[in-house]
């Protein structure tokens, strides 16, 4: 791994927005490109069913340490020339606390492929982003990424205190464990993954990546930094305007007249206290301009993590149409991004860009039949008899209630799984002909993106965004 720490982290953006192409372009500048580690099993399955245009996934799979496992994935999903028109994607297995072997193999290979491609052909550093909230995916995703030599793991949306230990165990080739939060639990639930069980004699020597915890307030950083067992190697301090999910306001949630959470000074990290912890940290959420980068450095940060500006770069995983639509609205100054307290079934506030023909429009939302078939955001719950059930507040209400969920929790939820797959060109097409609509997240601070777009009438790539943020961009 390159010894120097990055000034710019191109933040992980799921699902597939921070694609291997984007992360690679940023990493090649000497900064940190981060692939999203969310749903890479499904992305690989769908990419292969679309015929793997360009052969990238197959090229990466040819380097997977277990050729037999790579072949099983190709046999299960690859369709030469892609699916016949109108044919839905076939389902792929969902992960659980005790997942099936095919589910784990798809996750291992999916994460390997994305990191391997981001690292191909250069020696820059590459990270992968996970969400603590999606706990049951973490073990297989992290091991898959480590098999490809990932340099950094970044994780937010929760308190990632077991991740340092997990990375250390995997690096030793040993089984790793994670405690899984289960609703209505009467006992502890633990997920385990033994690399030898899956890779056997093919298991290569693994290197422990650095771990950055994404947090919103210094109090959490202080808690994690205190104990060497749970201490990360650094922090990303993310404020409430950042794209994607955000921490809810501290204390009781209060909504303003537009129904958005109200944040106050209590939600701001004390940067002097961050400096005092002695671990490197980066600032995120509205830091996408050269002036904000300079401000972060002056405050004692190593640099910044940016998302929104990179989501609009030419290598982002968003479909070309959707990206152009967003760029047009940003240029026109008409794009509004709402912090929606209900949209995400995780219960975390989620930024939703208000764009025509996406689920942010009430008519598009109302026309979508509720269905939960990807299941990444399902939470496990214990039934009274002790057995486990998996439920998502975006699934059909009667099913959620049957699994012990509260009907009120289903209101206003968006199926992020299906819509985020649609954003990157893998929408499910139902046998009825219904095509899953998109739903876009972006940060609420569009200043950096608007300024760079004004300077670059033809748009920009990830490397150009880095140069601009660092103040070394050549004039357009
Ligand atoms: C499209 C999009 C998707 C995102 N998805 C994730 C994610 O999956 N995990 C995560 O930790 N952060 C996610 N983020 C947050 C970014 O990694 C980054 O911290 C944030 O966007 C920084 O704020 P900015 O948008 O003002 O630059 C996402 C941001 C965007 C714009």
Instruction: Give residue 307 CA to ligand 1 midpoint distance, Å.
Output: 5
Alpha carbon of 309 to ligand 1 centroid (Å): 10
pLDDT band at 258 (very low <50, low <70, confident <90, very high): very high
Q: How far apart are CA 375 and CA 428, in angstroms?
A: 14
Is ligand 1 within 6 A of the CB of residue 33?
Answer: no
- pLDDT at residue number 473: 67
How far out from the chain centre does Cα 421 lie? 12
pLDDT band at residue 133 under the 50/70/90 scheme: confident
289-347 pLDDT, tens digit per residue, is 999 999 999 999 999 999 999 999 999 999 999 999 999 999 999 999 999 999 999 99
| CA-angle at 131, arms to 361 and 290, nearest 5° | 75
Residue 1 has pLDDT above 70, yes or no: no
Report, as an integer, the average pLDDT of 416-426. 97
- At 377 the pLDDT is 95
Mutate to test the pocket of ligand 1, among 6, 8, 10, 13 (most ligand atoms within 8 A of CB): 13
pLDDT at 157: 74
pLDDT at 158: 80
Ligand 1 atom nearest residue 441's Cα? 1
Nearest CA to ligand 1 atom 21: 307
Distance 4 CA to ligand 1 centre (A): 23
The separation between CA 324 and the C-alpha centre of its own chain, rounded to angstroms, equals 22
Residues 457-474 have a mean pLDDT of 92
pLDDT of amino acid 475 = 62
57, 41 contact by CB (below 8 A): no
Which residues, in sequence order, are bridge partners of residue 245? 350
Dist. CA 188 → ligand 1 center (Å) = 31
Residue 370: both structure tokens together: 């509720």
- Measured in whole angstroms, the distance separating CA 95 from the mean position of its chain's CA atoms is 16
pLDDT above 90 as % of the chain = 93
Instruction: Count Cβ atoms below 10 Å from residue 390 Cβ, excluding itself.
Output: 18
**CB under 8 A, 24+ apart: contacts of 356-362:** 356/325, 357/437, 357/438, 358/419, 358/437, 358/438, 358/439, 358/440, 359/414, 359/419, 359/437, 359/438, 359/439, 360/439, 360/440
Q: Nearest residue CA, atom 30 of ligand 1?
A: 243
Cβ–ligand 1 contact at 150 (below 6 Å) = no
Q: How confident is the model at residue 472 (pLDDT cuts 50, 70, 90)?
A: confident
Whether the Cβ atoms of residue 467 and residue 263 lie closer than 8 Å to each other: no
> Among 4-8, 204-208, 251-255, whose mean pLDDT is lowest?
251-255
> Which residue's C-alpha comes closest to atom 3 of ligand 1?
13
Q: Say what percent of the chain tops pLDDT 70.
A: 99
Q: Which of 8, 9, 11, 308 to mutate to test the pocket of ligand 1 (most atoms within 8 A of CB)?
A: 11
Residue 115 has pLDDT above 50, yes or no: yes
pLDDT at 440: 97
Q: Is 137 in the pocket of ligand 1 (CB under 6 A)?
A: no
Q: Is the pLDDT of residue 253 over 60?
A: yes
Mutate to test the pocket of ligand 1, among 244, 325, 351, 421 (most ligand atoms within 8 A of CB): 244
Q: Is 305 close to ligand 1, i.e. is its CB under 6 Å away?
A: yes
**Using one digit for the tens of pLDDT, what is the confidence trace for 9-44?**
999 999 999 999 999 999 999 999 999 999 999 999
* Per-residue pLDDT at 2: 46
CB 42 less than 6 A from any atom of ligand 1: no
Whole-model pTM above 0.85?
Answer: yes
Q: What are 56-98's pLDDT values in tens digits?
A: 999 999 999 999 999 999 999 999 999 998 899 999 999 999 9
476 has pLDDT over 70:
no
- Nearest-CA neighbor of 71 among 87, 48, 38? 48
Query: Does pLDDT of 3 surpass 90?
Result: no
| Ligand 1 closest atom vs CA 241 | 26
Q: Is 12 in the pocket of ligand 1 (CB under 6 A)?
A: yes
> 349 CB less than 6 Å from ligand 1?
no
Atom of ligand 1 nearest to the CA of 309: 27
The two structure tokens encoding residue 233: 């190697």
The pLDDT tens digits for 362-399 are: 999 999 999 999 999 999 999 999 999 999 999 999 99
Q: Work out the average pLDDT over 155-178.
A: 95
Q: Taking residues 161-179, report their average pLDDT.
A: 97
Distance 13 CA to ligand 1 centre (A): 5
Of 468, 467, 461, nearest to 23 (Cα)?
461
Ligand 1 site, residue 132, Cβ cutoff 6 A: no
Q: What would the pLDDT profile of 210-249 be if each residue is shown by its tens digit?
A: 999 999 989 999 999 999 999 999 999 999 999 999 889 9
């Amino acid at each position: 791994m390159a010894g120097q720490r990055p000034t710019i982290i191109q933040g992980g953006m799921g699902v597939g927005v921070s694609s291997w192409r984007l992360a690679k372009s940023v990493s090649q500048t000497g900064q940190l490109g981060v692939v999203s580690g969310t749903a890479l099993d499904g992305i690989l399955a769908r990419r292969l069913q679309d015929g793997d245009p360009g052969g990238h996934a197959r090229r990466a799979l040819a380097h997977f340490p277990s050729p037999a496992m790579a072949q099983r994935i190709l046999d299960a999903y690859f369709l030469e020339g892609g699916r016949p028109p109108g044919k839905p994607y076939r389902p792929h297995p969902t992960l659980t606390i005790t997942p099936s072997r095919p589910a784990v193999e798809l996750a291992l290979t999916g994460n390997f492929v994305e990191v391997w491609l981001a690292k191909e052909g250069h020696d820059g550093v590459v990270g992968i982003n996970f969400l603590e909230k999606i706990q049951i995916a973490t073990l297989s995703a992290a091991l898959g990424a480590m098999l490809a030599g990932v340099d950094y793991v970044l994780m937010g949306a929760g308190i990632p205190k077991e991740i340092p230990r997990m990375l250390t165990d995997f690096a030793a080739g040993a089984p790793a464990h994670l405690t899984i939060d289960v609703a209505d639990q009467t006992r502890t639930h633990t997920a385990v993954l033994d690399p030898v069980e899956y890779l056997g004699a093919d298991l290569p020597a693994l290197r422990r990546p650095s771990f950055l915890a994404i947090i919103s307030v210094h109090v959490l950083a202080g808690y994690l930094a205190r104990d060497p067992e749970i201490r990360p190697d650094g922090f990303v301090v993310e404020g409430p305007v950042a794209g994607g999910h955000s921490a809810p306001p501290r204390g009781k949630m209060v909504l303003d007249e537009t129904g958005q959470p109200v944040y106050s000074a209590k939600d701001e990290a004390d940067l002097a206290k961050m400096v005092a912890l002695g671990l490197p940290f980066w600032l995120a959420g509205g830091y996408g301009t050269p002036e904000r980068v300079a401000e972060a450095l002056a405050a004692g940060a190593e640099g910044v993590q940016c998302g929104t500006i990179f989501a609009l770069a030419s290598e982002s995983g968003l479909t070309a149409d959707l990206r152009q639509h967003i760029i047009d609205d940003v240029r026109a100054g008409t794009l509004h991004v709402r912090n929606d307290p209900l949209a995400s079934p995780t219960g975390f506030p989620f930024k939703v860009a208000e764009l025509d023909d996406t689920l942010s429009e009430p008519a598009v939302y109302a026309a979508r039949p509720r269905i939960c078939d990807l299941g990444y955001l399902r939470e496990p719950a214990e039934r009274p008899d002790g057995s486990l059930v998996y439920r998502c507040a975006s699934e059909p209400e009667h099913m959620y209630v049957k699994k012990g969920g509260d009907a009120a929790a289903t209101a206003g939820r968006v199926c992020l799984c299906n819509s985020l797959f649609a954003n990157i060109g893998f929408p499910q097409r139902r046998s009825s002909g219904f095509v899953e609509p998109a739903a876009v997240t972006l940060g609420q601070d569009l200043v950096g993106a608007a300024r760079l777009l004004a300077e670059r009438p033809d748009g920009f790539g990830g490397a150009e965004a880095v140069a601009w943020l660092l103040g070394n961009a050549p004039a357009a």
